[in-house]
């Protein structure tokens, strides 16, 4: 009678694989936009030679940049018809406002949710809904503190307009802040984004405004912490119906 097969014994390779998986799950990867900054810090440390203070400064800068540009893994909700947070941070404003005029989305006020990112938050941006990218528009502007109300209108910004499969229009605006000097957007009109898919980053700043269809049910409160790609900001209204032809 054949003996039951024994499970394979652990090998050094399997132990190493588990250790690597543990590191990956604990230490998030770095967004590609941050690699030059991390590399610059390591370069300073390498060139420091016997100057301990210079090596320390370089390694500290590299570590700070690696933390700032971290790109943690996120799992979007499976519930249909929801809008997720496009950024980590604190919900600082819930109101109604006209979307950025350069989008040509609407000249009527729409529900708006603003998320403020501190320097300690991950600064990648993710798609608040799944859908087709209709428009991407960049506008030069000022670099006021992003927590000010006028920052939405006056600051440098980049806006995307997404249209869901059900016909809902949602806009997300990356807004530079007092320390932010570079907005990165890696999507273009005609592309399709999945819910929670990374599409951009703001270097060293600062605020994300999300514009929702009228009738959306807001599910967050001012002061609440939002997790990019996971926190549900709102539930979309019923799918719009086409007007009957006359």
CB 124 within 8 Å of CB 201: yes
Whole-angstrom distance, CA of residue 46 vs CA of residue 42? 6
Whole-angstrom distance, CA of residue 98 vs CA of residue 113? 12
Residue 119 structure tokens: 């320097």
**Residue 85, CA distances (Å) to 100, 110, 138, 176, 180 in order:** 19, 17, 21, 17, 20
Give exposure, 220-236, as e/b (b: 16+ Cβ within 10 Å).
beeeeebebbebbbbbb
Residue 158's nearest CA partner among 199, 108, 198 is: 199
**Taking the C-alpha atoms of 111, 115, 116 and 122 in order, what is their torsion angle to the nearest 10 degrees?**
-160
Q: Which of 114, 152, 206, 216 is catalytic?
A: 206
CB 159 within 8 Å of CB 110: no
Residue keyed to tokens 């790109």: 71
Other C-beta atoms lying within 10 Å of the C-beta of residue 139: 15
Q: Is 206 a catalytic residue?
A: yes
Residue 110 structure tokens: 């729409």
| Positions marked active-site | 206
């Amino acid at each position: 009678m054949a003996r039951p097969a024994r499970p394979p014994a652990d090998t050094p390779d399997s132990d190493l694989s588990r250790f690597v998986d543990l590191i990956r799950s604990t230490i998030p990867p770095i967004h590609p936009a941050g690699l030059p900054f991390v590399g610059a810090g390591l370069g300073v440390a390498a060139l420091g030679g016997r100057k301990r203070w210079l090596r320390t400064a370089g390694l500290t800068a590299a570590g700070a940049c690696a933390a700032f540009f971290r790109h943690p893994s996120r799992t979007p909700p499976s519930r249909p018809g929801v809008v997720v947070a496009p950024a980590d941070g604190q919900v600082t404003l819930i109101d109604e406002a006209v979307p950025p005029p350069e989008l040509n989305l609407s000249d009527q006020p729409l529900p708006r949710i603003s998320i403020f990112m501190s320097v300690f938050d991950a600064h990648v941006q993710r798609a608040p809904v799944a859908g087709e990218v209709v428009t991407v528009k960049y506008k030069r502007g000022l670099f006021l503190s992003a927590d000010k109300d006028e920052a939405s209108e006056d600051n440098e910004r980049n806006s995307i307009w997404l249209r869901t499969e059900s016909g809902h229009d949602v806009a997300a605006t990356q807004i530079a802040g007092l320390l932010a000097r570079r907005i990165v957007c890696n999507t273009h009109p005609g592309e399709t984004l999945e819910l929670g898919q990374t599409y951009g980053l703001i270097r060293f700043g600062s605020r994300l405004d999300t514009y929702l269809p009228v009738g959306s049910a807001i599910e967050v409160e001012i002061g609440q912490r939002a997790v990019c790609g996971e926190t549900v900001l709102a539930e979309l209204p019923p799918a719009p119906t086409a007007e009957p032809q006359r």
